[in-house]
Structure 1
C-alpha cells in the first residue's frame, strides 16, 4: 500500500516540476490558437522583418488608434495649423466619451500642449475626441482624414472611424500597418518621440499614471502605446534599443495585459537575436568558392534522372531566407529534416543551422546539423539543415523555429 502511495506522490511531484516547462512549450501554440492574435517585429534601421505571425490579418486597433491621432496632431503643429498654447473647445460629445478619459467638462477648454500626454499615457478618449473635432470639424470628419493620411503613409489595410479606438466594426488595421505607423512617428517627428517614454503626467493638480508597464519592465523599451477593447484583446506597440540597435514590435490580441507583455518581451529578445544573426552573416568575409566535390549531383543531373526514373521529391533548398528551389544533394540524409537556409558561405550555413539546433535542443536532442554543398546554376551553395527527424517532429520543429523568428521549410528524406 505505502509503496504504491509513494509512487503516486512521486509522479505528482514530477508533474508539478514539469508543468512550467510544458506551459512554456505550449505558449506559442496558444498564441496561434487565439483568433485575435497577430504580431510583427522589424529592424528599425533596415526595415527587415525579423518575425511575423498573422501580420496582415485584419484586427481592431483599439487605442493604438491614438498613434495616428497624435501623428495628425504633430503634423498640424509643424504646419502651424494649431499652436501649442492654443485652447481647444470641449464639446458635450467629447466630454461624454467612456473611459479611459481625463474627465473633461463640456464647455471648458484645454491647451493643445495639454492633450499630448493624456493621449499617450492615459489613452484618454475624451481628449482624442477634442483633438479630432479641432482638426477635422467633427470626429467622423477627422477619421476620414486619418484614413486618407494613413493610405498616403502606406497603411493600406487600415480604416479609421473615430479618433480614440473605441469599438467600431469598421475600424480595422493590421500588425504590419501599426508597425509602419510607429516607424513613421519616430522618423517624421523625432522631436516629439520623447512623449512616448513618459509614464505619468499631472493635469490640474491630479497625477495620472499610464498602462504601459513594458517601459518599466523591459530593459531598453522607450515607447510607444498600449490599447484594449473587448473585441481586440490587449494590444501594444513597442520600440526598444539594445547595443545601439532598435527594433519595433507589435502584439495584438493578448488575452491579458500580463501575457501580452510577457509575449512582447519574448518577441523583442528574439528580434534582437535575429537581427544580430543577420548582421553577423552580412559582415562575414566571403571565401573563395570551392570546387565541387566528387560525386556531387547538379540540378541538370537531377532533372535528367527525374526524366528517366519515377518522379520523386529530392528535397528543397532556400536560395534566400524565403525563396525555395528544387535540387538534389550529394549526401544521403536519413529521416525528415528542416532547412533553414542556403548560403554562398559555408560558415554562414553552419552558424544558422547551429543556431536553429540550439533553439530546439530541449525538444529535439536527436536532430543533427547537416551542412551540404549543392550546385545551382553552376554556383555552389551551402545548404543548412537539421536532419534525422520523424515527419511529425520536422513539422513541429519548423513551427517552433517560426515562433523564434526563423524561416524554415520541411524536407523529405532524400530518395523517399
Structure 2
C-alpha cells in the first residue's frame, strides 16, 4: 500500500508541477524562400533553429573560416599566451597571400590588434596567416588547433586546412556549424566581437570597407563575417539583436554580394517578426525541492547549471508547460552539481527545451540514527 502511494504521489507531482507563462496569438507563416545552397536561422539564447535548408551539408565556407581563426586568437589572448600589443613579424608567405588582403609589408612588424581588425573587417588573408604563424609557428599547425576547437564546440561536420578559407578539397563546414561558432564567439569573447561591427578599417594608408552590407542597411545587425570564392559562392554569417532577442543567420552559396545580404535580411526579419524568446530560469536558482534520505537535512533544492531560454511562435508563450522528472530516491551524501533529474519545456506535444536538474548545494550524511530510520523506511516502501 505504501509502495503504491509513493508512485501515485510521485506521478501526481510530475503532472502537477506545471508553470504557465503569460502572451496574443500571431499567425505563423512558413519561412521565406531563400536563394542559397544552404542556410540556417537560429536563436542565440535558446539555440532553437527557426528555419533551415541543407544546414548540415558540408560546403566550402570561404572567408567565413576567419571566424574560427579569430576564435582561436581570442582564446590565446584570454589565456595570456599573446597580447594585443604584440608586434608580429609579417613573413613572406603571409605577404604573398592572394585574395582579399590588408596590405601588410613583408618583414615589417604589425600589432596583433591591427592584424585582428585587418582580418575581421578587411578579411585580410595576409593578416590571418600572420596571426596563425605567430600563435602556432605555421599555418598547418594552427589549422590543427582550429579543428580541435571545432570538436570542443560540437562542430562535427567541419574540417579546416588553413586559416583563410582559400579553396582546398578537405576544407569544409556547414551552415549549422557556423551558427554554433558564431554563438560561441559572441558568448565567449564579447570584447572582441565588437570588431565585427566596424564598417571600415585603415591600415598602411589604405581604407577598406566591411563587406557585410547589412551593417549599413540594418542597425540591429552587429556582425559577423562574409566570404566568397568561385567554389563557395557568396556567403554571410550575420547576427542581429532587437530588444532582448538575438538571432544568428548563415547563408552559403548565394549568387552575389547583394543577394547574400538580401537573403539574410529575409531570414532575420522573419525570425524577429514571428518568434519570441524568453528566459524561463536563471542559473543556480531553485526550481523545486526534493526529499533527501539519510542526510543531515531532508530537503534539497534543485535548479539548473546554466540559464534556460525558449523560443516559441509569437503569442504562444502562455501555452508553455514545464515538467520535472526527478530520480528517486535521492540518498545522501549529495554534491552540488550532481544531476538528479530533468526539466522539460513543452509547447503542446512538442518538447521545445530540456535541461538537467542539478543539486544546488551539498547534503552531508546524517547521523547514524537518521540513516537507520531512513534505511528502514526505504525498505518498507520498496
TM-score, structure 2 as length reference: 0.65
The answer on whether the counterparts of 2:95 and 2:106 sit within 8 Å (CA) in structure 1 is yes
1:203 aligned residue: 203
Q: State the SS of the aligned residue for 1:192.
A: helix
Q: Give the one of 317, 320, 325 matched to 1:282.
A: 317
Query: Which residue of structure 1 lines up, in the alignment, with residue 350 of structure 2?
Result: 320
Gaps of 5+ in 1: 1-26, 287-317, 323-416
| Whole-angstrom CA distance in 2 between matches of 1:220 and 1:249 | 13
In the other structure, the counterpart of 1:248 is: 248
CA distance in 2, matches of 1:203, 1:285: 52
Instruction: Give the Cα separation in 2 of the matches to 1:136 and 1:275.
Output: 43
Pair 1:110-2:110 in alignment: yes
> What is the CA–CA distance in structure 2 between the aligned matches of 1:119 and 1:43, rounded to whole Å?
26
Matched, 1:99 2:99: yes
Counterpart Cα distance in 1 of 2:175 and 2:245: 21
Residue 299 of structure 1 corresponds to which residue in structure 2? none
Q: By how many angstroms is 1:271 displaced? A: 1.3
Kindly state the Cα deviation for residue 80 of structure 1 after the two structures are TM-superposed: 1.0
Give the drift of 1:273.
2.5
Tell me the CA shift for residue 109 of structure 1.
1.4
CA distance in 2 between counterparts of 1:240 and 1:209 reads: 19
For residues 204 and 93 of structure 1, the distance between their equivalents in structure 2, rounded to whole angstroms, comes to 19
Shift of 1:321: 8.3
Q: What pairs up with 1:71-110 in 2 under 5 angstroms?
A: 71-110=71-110
Q: Which residue of 1 aligns with 2:61?
A: 61
* Equivalence for 2:257: 257
Query: Distance in 1 between the 2:243 and 2:107 partners?
Result: 49
Per-residue CA deviation, residues 265-293 of structure 1 (Å, 9 max, x unaligned), is 0011111123235253122488xxxxxxx
- In structure 2, how many angstroms separate the alpha carbons of the residues matched to 1:82 and 1:214? 32
List per-residue Cα deviations over 1:227-284 (Å, max 9, x = no partner): 0111111110111112321111101001111111111100111111232352531224
Aligned to 1:82, what secondary structure does the other structure show? coil
CA contact (8 A) 2:160 2:172 kept: yes
Q: Does 1:159 align with 2:159?
A: yes
Moved over 4 A (4+): none
TM alignment of 1:246-395, pairs within 5 A = 246-276=246-276, 278-284=313-319, 319-320=349-350
8 Å contact from structure 2 (residues 103, 203) kept in 1 = no
Larger proportion of helix: 1
Report deviation, 1:83: 1.1
Q: Aligned to 1:223, what secondary structure does the other structure show?
A: strand
**Would you say how many aligned residue pairs link Structure 1 and Structure 2?**
260
Residue of structure 2 equivalent to 1:181 = 181
- Residue 79 of structure 1 and its aligned partner are, at CA, apart by 0.8
SS at match of 1:115: helix
TM-score normalised by L of structure 1 = 0.60
Other structure's SS at 2:39 match: strand
Higher normalized strand content (fraction of residues): 2
Match for residue 230 of structure 2?
A: 230
String of CA shifts for 1:194-225, please: whole Å, max 9, x gaps: 11100111223332211111111124111111
Partner of 1:169: 169
1:337 match? none
- Counterpart residue number, 2:132: 132
Structure 2 unaligned regions, length at least 5: 1-31, 277-311, 322-347, 353-382
Q: CA deviation at 1:181?
A: 0.3
Whether the 8 Å CA contact 1:200–1:209 is kept in 2: the answer is yes
1:118-144, Cα deviation, whole Å (9 max, x unpaired): 111110001101011111111111111
Residues in 2 aligned to 1:248 and 1:226: alpha-carbon distance in whole angstroms: 13
Measure, in 2, the Cα distance between the counterparts of 1:129 and 1:54: 30
1: CA distance, partners of 2:38 / 2:87: 39
Per-residue CA deviations over 1:164-192 (Å, capped at 9, x if unaligned) read 00111111000000000000000000121
Q: Is the 8 A contact 1:161 1:170 kept in 2?
A: yes
Contact 1:50 1:274 in 2 (8 A): no
